Structure 1
C-alpha cells in the first residue's frame, strides 16, 4: 500500500516525511508495524517535519527491497528537511553478519534477497547535507540482531540525527506493538510540538518496554529517563553542541553492566563512541577511550572474543597515532587482548583471531617475558585439538 499526502502552505524548503512500516507476513512477524500508520496519518503533516509545508509518503508492508530503496532515494533528493519514520524488525544476515530491515516476504533463508540492508539506508541518507536528515525508529530485533546492535550500535553516519528505540523480540506469542511511534503521534495530536529531544523522552516514557535500547544521537549526555514502573531506563548520547551537559556517563554505564544489563551498557558506550568519532574523527583519543570502554564491557559480559577483538582495535588505533610499541597504553591493550583470547572457548573463533594477535605480539612483545612464545604454543595446541 502506498499513499501520498501533500500539505499546502509555504512552499519554500518544504519538508519530506517518509513513513515505512515493514515486517514479514506470517509467523516470522515480530512487530505489528503497519498498525502505526493510521495513527501517524492522523497527525498534521507539518508536525512530522517541523515545516509549514510537507510531503508525506507512506510505505506499508512493502514486498521488494528495491521498491523501498527507490522511495528512500527519491526522498533523499529533497532539498528541505527529511524525516524517516521506520517501524519494523531487524534481522542479521547469517552469512555476511549485516543488519537488514525485514520486509513482507523476508524469511531467514531469503533475507539477502527479500530484506532491505540497513547500510543501504545509511548510504542514501549519508549523501545529504549534514543536519538535514532525521531518522526516527521503533524497531524489534531478533536474537542475532539484538546482540549485534548491543555490541556495534545502530548508527547511520555523520550528520544524521537518530531517535527512537530498539527492543528484543517478544518472549511471548504475538507481535509487539510500535508503541514508541504511537506515543509520538499521540503527543502531536494533542497539539504539543516539543523539540525532538523532549519528544523522544516523553515518547520513551509513555511506551515503556523493559530492556529497550533508546537511541538519541544529537541530544544531551546519557542520563536516566524516568520510565513507567517495570521499564528499564537507559542512557542517551551526548550532543557536542549542547551547551548544558547532564554529567559523567561512566557511572551509569558501569552500573548497568554490573546489574547484568550488558546490552544497555554496550549500546550506550557505542553511542558515545559514535559521537566522539563525529566530533573528533577516527583515531582521536576521545574515540579510542570509548573503544576501550566497549572492550571492557565485553569482558564484563563474558564475551572474550569480542573483548579481544576490541582491545586489538585499540592497539592498532594507538599505533596508527604513532604511539610507540613500548608505550604503556599500547602494551596494556595488547596484554588485555592476549588475556581475553586465552579465555575463548570457541575453537574456530580463537583460530580466526589468532593471526592478528600474533602480528601485534611480534610488534608489541610487552613486559611479560616470553609472551609471544606462550601465544604461539597455545595456537599450536588449538590446531592439535579442543581448547583445554
Structure 2
C-alpha cells in the first residue's frame, strides 16, 4: 500500500507529509461523539499510511482533541509525526473571545504542551487574529517560545496579507492556514501571493468544502444537531438547492476521471503547488484511504480550467463562514505604536 510523500512546508526547514489530517472532528463539533479507541486507531492508521502531519487546536472539543492526541502519540508515536496546534480563541467567559496578548499566548502554549504530553510543538499557530493587539506584540511572545525550545515553527490562520507581512518581519512565519477549496477561493487574490513572495507554506483547511465535495447536498441529511456545519450559509436550504448543481457537475468530471468527487476536489488543491498541504479531516479509515488516493489523481491544465469554471465565485451561494465576527476572517491588527499593554 502506497505511503504519502513528504514536502517542505515553508522555507524555515519544516518537512511534513504532503497531506495532513485535520483533527477538529475527532472529538466533537462534527456530529456524534466518537470512541477514544477508534480515533486513536484512526490516527495510528494515518501515520502508518504516511500521513504524519497532524493538525489540532486547543479549541477543538474544548481541549479534548489535544488530550486525545497526547494519548495517541505515547509509546514512540510522537517521534513519527509533525504536530501542529493553535491558540487564540478563549471561551473562559462563556463566549468566544479572540486573544493575542503575551500573557495569554504563553499560558495557552504551556497548557497545550501539557495536554499533548510533549516538550515541544512543531508548528504553533495563532488560530484567529486579535484585532486589539498589534501582531508584533503577539509575535514577540511567540519568538520567545521558539527561543525557549517550546515551539519550533510559527504559523498564522485567517490573517490578512498586511498582518502576515508584519508578523514575518518579527520572526519568520513557516505556514499560513486558510480555507481553500474549489468553492472557497478568496485567499487567491492577495493572501496566497503574499505567502509565496515571503516563502511561507500554505496549509489548506476544509479542502473538501466541509464535506460537501465528499457527500454532495445529501450531507445535510446526516448531520447531527451539534454539527457546526448545520449553521453554515452554504448548507442552508435556499443555498444548497442552488449549490447542488456544482456537486453534480464536479461528479460528472470525476466519473470521467475514474475517481471519486472528493478525490477530484482534493486533487485540485494538491495541484495548486508544491507549497500547499491540504488537511482534510475524517473519522473513518475508509475516508482516510480515499483521501490518500487523491494524491494519485493527475489533472491536466484543461481539466483544472474545466473544474474551476463550474465552481466560480459567482456560482456559489452563501458565505463560507457565516455570522462570525470580522475578527475571524483575514484580520488586521492595530499599529504597534497604539499598544499600551505590558
- After TM superposition, the score normalised by the length of structure 2 is 0.30
Higher relative contact order (CA 8 A, sep 6+): 2
Greater Cα radius of gyration, structure 1 or 2: 1
